Structure 1
Amino acid sequence: MGSPDEVRHERLTELRRRMAAIPARGAASTTRAPLSRESREESLPVPSALGELLPDGGLVRGSVVEYWGASSLLAGLLAAVTGAGGHVAAVGLPRLGLLAAVEMGADLARLAVIPDPGSDPLEVASILLDGLDLVVLGMGGREVPPARARVLAARARGKGATLVVAGGRWSGSVLRIDTRIAGYGGLGRGCGRLRTMRLDVRVRGRSTPQRTGVLDLTPRDGRIEWVAAQSDSFVPKVVEARHAAS
């Protein structure tokens, strides 16, 4: 085994090789339709219930979004983009629920997962922005240095890709999404299975008023989906603090 620098160089070279093998952004899939022209040029799709809270109805291409809270909604973002024919990477998110993403409609053939990006996840994200539609980068509560943030933001803008920074402090993001688990439904009803999860969601844009909403993750037509909460059909269970970042 070589030095740490040599190992890092080999990993980045391999990542660039794999990126070169990915079809051009928006290229057609053998199993799914590509992203529409409007989606490619303006914004990426999101779960419809979340889209109602976002200023542009989706994740604007070329932008950086700061995200805090439940990883289950991140799985919904992956599902929405890959299910529409886009290419996505999840970086530094070892606990991301891929099974949940599949149940939400994700196409794993269009998803690259890098649970351990090494000592410089920002460089890995920079490479991935070159050819993917969406990069979700887990930062584990760390702050992104302003100089690096400006470089990455410029790269995302230049490539027309969207960067979601999960659990990382980022100055200058155009949008911030905060989520908090409000409760679970379906417990104690004889089936012994969790059926619904509820999220409180707060969205803050750089130049738009704050928006808040409540989303339910619930079974529907053989899959699970994020839908706008229906208060009369949900009896929440109190959530302990340890679930706050689930």
Structure 2
Amino acid sequence: MLGEVAEFPVGGGASQERTRQIEALRRRIAAVPSRGEVSRPTPVSEPVEVASQGVLPVPAPLADLLPHGGLVRGSVVSVSGAASLLLGVLASVTSSGGNAAVIGQRRLGLLAAAEMGARLQRLAVIPDPGPDPVEVAAVLLDGMDLVVLGLGGNSVPPSRARAVAARARSKGAVLIVTDGQWEGAQIRLEAQVSGYEGVDGPGLGRLCGTRLSVRAHGRAFPLRTTQVDVCAERSKVLWESGNPRRIGGDAGRGQVAQ
């Protein structure tokens, strides 16, 4: 197991020190149980479904947007917009027995992820990956079902993007890229907040839900959109679906507002 929200320190520094850190990270990843395996007997209530699937699960309202009902292993996915989208994916993967890592996301809402059902013991966080986060992501693809890479507004050269994508394919992992430019992603998921539930006025009521407008498009399927309600219910956050809608041609393919 990864341990309680394992945080792997991989910062900057001299090249020799960084090489040592990367090698230490490789050893730690090699010690992670194989995808879908656990290092202790698994209770009936703890599903271990991810290893037997060709796709990683996503929240149910998002599954209708995707051709295979989830994120296909070996693919690269670009995610932008509202953070709830990314948190929901992390929750779905880890709650289904998968291991995930998040790189370069200093403001990741771990509490919100846990409320959506994330198993934090299956989540590794590297808030400061140093000068080369892409290298760190390539290492983590060896042992994780899902790797989330925050690019910090940078653009990855196409040749390097292709090399890392090939590694994801060979390892059967999914790479999600955010906050930057990555050419060649098979799927692009974009979300923006389009409304709130439970707000009665200034100083009145309580925010109990957020409505997201979610768009998905990729190489092999046309643009699809849906409305998703992310609703707080006691100590849990639930995802409730609208009906996905397909849009012909290139209409509406503009970047979602942040």
Give the TM-score normalised by structure 2. 0.83
Superposition pairs of residues 135-146 of structure 1, within 5 angstroms: 135-146=147-158
- For the 8 Å contact 1:201–1:215, the answer to whether it is kept is yes
Question: Within 5 Å, which residues of 2 pair with 1:19-168?
Answer: 19-28=29-38, 30=42, 32-36=46-50, 38-39=52-53, 42-168=54-180
Unaligned runs of 5+ in 2: 1-11, 244-256
Between Structure 1 and Structure 2, the one with more helix by share is 1
Whether the 8 Å CA contact 2:210–2:229 is kept in 1: the answer is yes
Over residues 61-90 of structure 1, what are the superposed CA-to-partner deviations in whole Å (9 max), with x where a residue is unaligned? 000001111111111111100000000001
Code of the aligned partner of 1:219: A
Write the distance in 2 (CA, Å) between the matches of 1:93 and 1:37.
26
Distance 2:123 2:36 in 1: 14
Q: Identity over the aligned pairs, expressed in percent? A: 52
| C-alpha displacement of 1:220 | 4.3
**1:120 CA drift (Å):** 0.3
Alignment partner, residue 187 of structure 2: 175
Q: Using the TM superposition, give the Cα deviation of residue 7 of structure 1 relative to its aligned residue in structure 2, in angstroms.
A: 2.6
Counterpart-to-counterpart distance in 1, 2:32 and 2:51: 19
RMSD between superposed Cα atoms in Å:
2.0
Aligned residue in 1 for 2:21: 11
Structure 1 contact 66–168 (Cα < 8 Å) conserved = no
**CA separation in 2, counterparts of 1:37 and 1:99?**
26
Report the Cα distance in structure 2 between the residues aligned to 1:118 and 1:183, rounded to whole angstroms: 37
Q: Work out the CA distance in 2 between the residues paired with 1:118 and 1:47.
A: 31
- Residue pair 2:50, 2:93 contacting (<8 A) in 1 also: no
**2-side partners of 1:11 and 1:193: how far apart?**
46
Give 2:213's match in structure 1, choosing from 200, 222, 227.
200
Structure that is richer in strand per residue: 2
- Alpha-carbon separation, structure 2, partners of 1:46 and 1:23: 22
Q: Describe the superposition over 1:87-118 as per-residue Cα deviations: whole angstroms up to 9, x where unpaired.
A: 00011111110000000111111100011111
Give the Cα separation in 1 of the matches to 2:148 and 2:165: 13
Once residues 118 and 149 of structure 1 are traced to their aligned partners in structure 2, the CA distance between those partners, rounded to angstroms, is: 18
Residue-by-residue CA offset, 1:177-229 (whole Å, 9 max, x unaligned): 11111122212268643211111111001021110111111034741022214
Q: CA deviation at 1:150?
A: 0.6
Return the offset for 1:36: 4.8
- 3-state SS of paired residue (2:228): strand
Give secondary structure in 1 for the equivalent of 2:124. Answer: strand
Matches within 5 A, 1:209-224: 209-220=222-233, 222-224=235-237
Q: What residue is the counterpart of 1:234 in the other structure?
A: none
Which of 179-188 and 105-114 deviates more?
179-188
Deviation at residue 140 of structure 1 after TM alignment: 2.1
